Amino acid sequence: MLPRVPFVSFVLVFVIGILAGDFLISLNFFDTHTTSCLETAVILVITAVSFLLYKKRKYLVFGICFLFFLFVCGVFDINLHSAELNKDIIKLTSNKYEFYEAVVTSLPEKRAKSLRVEVLIKRVHTNKKWIDVDVKALLCIPLDASQIPYANDYLLVKGNAEQPKPPMNPEEFDYKRYLWNKGIVWTDYLPEGSYQVVKNRNISVSVKQWSIQISEWADRQFRTNLKDEKSYGLVKAMLLGRRDDLRSDQIDDYTTSGTVHILSVSGMHVAIIFWVITFMLGWIKKLKGGKYVYLAIVIWLMCFMHLSPVWRLLFFVPH
């Protein structure tokens, strides 16, 4: 089966490399000071050997070498991820600061009693000067707060961020590990009066920013036209992938009925969108150099639709 779908074997080997790297990190196998140079050297050597084997048409050995290359990339990728997060921990623990400045990088997500936003802490104030840090964090704000930050707003916060606490027993959900996998090692709760929201007037245009603006616009339209709270929460979850306005009893009902998958992105949705895009743009491949243009456009569109709710609004098909 795998020779017929080589992409699956590529992904499996890469994932195995990530799991192996995570295991080696738990054993303190890597030396952070020397690993980066060693990783670069190993990858360059394997790449050169793979290229020579392919040029000599030794395809079987080339395939084995390429799979080993993917395995090594998985090991080094998780190690690099871990090293970067450890640097983020050091950036804040090594500086005693009174204030920090952060930019909001996500839409506010409603929880039971609070709003949750992801931010990038840009700098901290210590010893009467600002120090650049660039560290991701997760902030919680009271649900009834007078100042609600939105994407690209700046926050000036009085206080210090904290690291998430590890689980108290082996069976407890490891929230610290969950955030670690998302690239977040700092959290903070902002009570009323501990922060100030500053609107960002110089917003750079990007695919992510465009997708956030579309999501906000669609949310406003749903709120205006759907007066029933349950209907609003359901439509928002199905078309925007944001489930923060769904009531707990609704989620329980969908979970019990086995249809909760329609509230989130599935492989079927992605496959349908991919088929539509390739069908509509297939003619480009017939042009001179069109294969490369076709590949670039398809990859760009799939990446955009991964970030944006537009594809849900246009192509949503429950299954």
Give 108: exposed, middle or buried? Use CB within 10 Å, 0-12, 13-18, 19+.
buried
Listed in sequence order, the residues at least 6 apart from 61 whose beta carbon sits closer than 8 Å to its beta carbon are 53
Q: Based on the number of CB atoms within 10 Å of its own CB, is 40 exposed (0-12), middle (13-18) or buried (19 or more)?
A: exposed
**Token representation of residue 79:** 């190690």
User: Can you give the pLDDT at residue 156?
Assistant: 93
Chain CA centroid to CA 101, Å? 22
- Helix axes of 267-281 and 290-307: crossing angle, nearest 10 degrees: 150
Rounded to a whole number, what is the largest CA-CA distance in the chain?
Answer: 68
Give pLDDT tens digits for 157-197. 998 999 998 888 888 888 999 999 889 999 999 998 889 99
Residue 168, pLDDT score: 85
pLDDT value at 247 more than 60: yes
Q: Do residues 101 and 123 touch, judged by C-beta distance below 8 A? A: yes
- pLDDT single digits (tens) 51-65: 888 888 887 888 888
For 12-30, write each residue's pLDDT tens digit: 888 999 999 888 887 777 6
Which pLDDT score is estimated for 316?
Answer: 43
pLDDT of residue 100: 93
Q: Are 79 and 34 in contact (CB under 8 A)?
A: no
Round to whole Å and give the CA distance between 272 and 51.
35
CA 128 to CA 59: how far, in whole Å?
62
Name the pTM for this structure.
0.70
Tell me what percent of the residues of the chain surpass a pLDDT of 90.
14
